[in-house]
Amino acid sequence: MSFKAPVRDIVFSLQAAAGYERLASAFPEADLDTAQAVLEAAGEFAADVLAPLNRSADQAGAVYENGRVTAPAGFVDAYKQYAAGGWNGLAASPDHGGQGLPKTLEVAVFDIFQAANLAFGIWPTLTLGAVEAIDHHGSERQKAIYLPKLVSGEWTGTMNLTEPQAGSDLAAVRTRAEPDGEGGYRLHGQKIFITWGDHEATDNIVHLVLARLPDAPEGVKGISLFLAPKVQVNDDGSLGALNALRPGGIEHKMGLHGSPTCVMLYEGAKAELIGQPHNGLAYMFTMMNAARLMVGVQGVGVAERAYQRALAFAQERRQGRSAWTGETSAPIFDHPDVRRMLMLAKAKLDAARAICFATAVASDLARASSDPAEKAAAAAREALLTPIAKGWSTDVGVEVASAGVQVHGGMGFIEETGAAQYYRDSRILPIYEGTNGIQAMDLAGRKLADGGAALADLLAEIRADANGLAGELAGVKGRLLTGADAVDDAARWLIERRGTPDALAGATAFLKLTGDLVGGWMLARTAAAALAGGGPDDTAWRASKAALARLFAEQVLTGASGLAEAVKQGAGDLASVSAEALGA
Ligand SMILES: Cc1cc2nc3c(=O)[nH]c(=O)nc-3n(C[C@H](O)[C@H](O)[C@H](O)COP(=O)(O)OP(=O)(O)OC[C@H]3O[C@@H](n4cnc5c(N)ncnc54)[C@H](O)[C@@H]3O)c2cc1C
């Protein structure tokens, strides 16, 4: 089944749910018509070039042999087309060769690329993160030498945080950076799980590496950020000798086979410090916040692909008698339970997409608004929504991919349909870029450290929109208002107990509860705009948006008060039971 980019849904989500028009004064050249044209071109590239490589890359995988990493067949050529098409520099500053478009549009384009080919899609997103980190924290020289090549896609970037003993806890990083006496540094250590850590598609790879200086204090305050290119770069930008770093192997994974996940060995590699010593983790967070949103978009992408395949299969596969039409040997789409699975998948997918776009709009306004009050409010909104965009959307990615397998029945478990690949691929998304447990603790902890002020602003908006719902969406109103009360109640409980085991135990339920509410709100906004005659002139499509909002309200938002109770259960029972007692 061929992939079709969901441009119609993406454009409407930007417009009706995410508030894309708020970017008009900061990005006057990027109106919705322009966005639509860019998205249509992205859709063609994704369908023609990226999607056809998805399955073959899963089967062949990336290969490590004789110290070299080889990308799956077709990926290098696809990457060259991607770079030549200017896709890498959409949101980068024109100062470095970028197009200066909103990040929101870049995120929407990557929604399509991730859906077409997740293992390919993660590759350039790491380069975008490196661009962001160097742009914010690099020296003028580093910007001049590295940014034009990274923005054009001539070189790629990586993010080297993880070590065997340092995963979620980056305070445990041990890679050493020793001054070389000439103003530079030499890196010694091993990094693991480095996505696209090596490949042959570009003539250089720019590694951003967390390491410790000899005088570094213990813990997170002693970590610095370094830039170590695969091939050394002379001051005039020309390439010099190979650097003393190499891939030591690639992992054999459950999914995402097309993306090489490398062990990286630093054996005295020449490196430059980025920014100030011991400040690396803060700098890396610049990269991580952008990357977290992009991983959320990966959840959306894989959900889209899994949903498209399941919907097609449900119309072809015939089994049993339809409870609606009485037809025997009916398409399984005509069974209420299958329809429920598909519609719930679509509702969650639409909701996750809108959450990611709303986060991106906030990010753009936080960066580019000329109104200080709007800028500050947008920064607070971006900070609040980022763990939801990452955590909730990637959980949706796995749920929808799992529903896709279920809709296929036994054929879903058989590799040839492709449904199994989406499920396997999706499973990494709640793990990398900060596990969803870490996202939940961020939301329930740091993001409520303002006493709940940013959340209160969000709840006020949700309540105001809910109070405006009537007619076909009258039932959604009550569910949203109850949901907002549940989030409010749970948040107050968490704020009183911030940092305690009780609050930490409730964090994941809080992320689910808040994500469900924001998702339900986004669907209500979409539905209200569709019923008011927005979007394509298609009555059935408009009615489907209202049906999705209602289904989500009745099947998901009805769980809000239960989730608030789960948040407030506390950690008592968790603390009182030993591992021995729980064992066999
Ligand atoms: C395919 C793949 C690609 C990756 N790409 C990159 C990359 O490009 N660059 C890079 O640097 N890293 C990368 N990673 C590493 C990834 O970011 C880590 O795996 C992730 O951060 C989790 O760390 P960990 O695996 O050590 O798990 P751990 O930190 O050991 O966590 C194990 C479990 O314990 C939980 N946990 C840990 N600490 C806490 C806590 N304080 N409170 C509550 N729960 C906790 C976690 O949520 C998780 O459920 C990649 C990993 C994979 C598998």
pLDDT tens across the length of the chain (584 residues): 799 999 999 999 999 999 999 999 999 999 999 999 999 999 999 999 999 999 999 999 999 999 999 999 999 999 999 999 999 999 999 999 999 999 999 999 999 999 999 999 999 999 999 999 999 999 999 999 999 999 999 999 999 999 999 999 999 999 999 999 999 999 999 999 999 999 999 999 999 999 999 999 998 899 999 999 999 999 899 999 999 999 999 999 999 999 999 999 999 999 999 999 999 999 987 778 889 999 999 999 999 999 999 999 999 999 999 999 999 999 999 999 999 999 999 999 999 999 999 999 999 999 999 999 999 999 999 999 999 999 999 999 999 999 999 999 999 999 999 999 999 999 999 999 999 999 999 999 999 999 999 999 999 999 999 999 999 999 999 999 999 999 999 999 999 999 999 999 999 999 999 999 999 999 999 999 999 999 999 999 999 999 999 999 999 999 999 999 999 999 999 999 999 999 99
| 463 sits in which H/E element | helix 453-467
Cβ proximity of 382 and 363 under 8 Å: yes
Closest approach atom of ligand 1 to CA 197: 8
Pocket test for ligand 1, best of 193, 195, 250 (most atoms within 8 A of CB): 193
Give me the pLDDT at residue 353, please: 98
Tell me whether strands 205-212 and 156-160 are parallel, antiparallel or unpaired: parallel
Q: What is the pLDDT of residue 480?
A: 98
pTM of the model: 0.98
Q: Which residues contact 308 (CB under 8 A, 6 or more apart)?
A: 1, 3, 4, 6
Report the relative pairing of strands 185-195 and 261-274 from DSSP bridges: antiparallel
**pLDDT of amino acid 178:** 98
Pocket mutation for ligand 1, best pick of 122, 127, 162 (most atoms within 8 Å of C-beta): 162
Atom of ligand 1 nearest to the CA of 162: 11
Q: Is the CB of 432 under 6 A from ligand 1?
A: yes
Q: Is 195 in the pocket of ligand 1 (CB under 6 A)?
A: yes
What's the CA gap between 139 and 175, in Å, rounded?
23
Best CA proximity match to 159, nearest among 70, 79, 72, 227: 227
196 lines ligand 1 (CB under 6 A): no
**The pLDDT of residue 286:** 72
29 is catalytic: no
Instruction: Output the CA angle 312-315-317, nearest 5 degrees.
Output: 105
Q: Is 436 a pocket residue for ligand 1 (Cβ < 6 Å)?
A: no
The number of the ligand 1 atom at minimal distance from the alpha carbon of 167 is: 26
Tell the residue number behind the tokens 């979409």, with chain if given: 526
Region for 499 from its dihedrals, namely left if φ exceeds 0, alpha if ψ lies in -120 to 50, beta otherwise: left
Residues paired with residue 189 on neighbouring β-strands, in sequence order = 266
In the three-class reduction of DSSP (H, G, I as helix; E, B as strand; rest coil), residue 235 is classed as coil
Residue 437 Cβ contacting ligand 1 at under 6 Å: yes
Amino acid identity of 277?
P
Q: Each residue of 84-115: b (16+ CB within 10 Å) or e?
A: eeebbbbbbeeebbbbbbbbbbbbbbbbbbbb
How much is the pLDDT for 102? 98
Q: Which of these is catalytic: 132, 163, 433, 554?
A: 433
Smallest Cα–Cα separation from 432: which of 87, 125, 204?
125
Cite the DSSP H helix spans in 70-176: 75-84, 103-116, 118-137, 140-152
Pocket residue to mutate for ligand 1, from 168, 254, 288, most atoms within 8 A of Cβ: 168
- For ligand 1, atom 30, which residue shows the shortest CA distance? 167
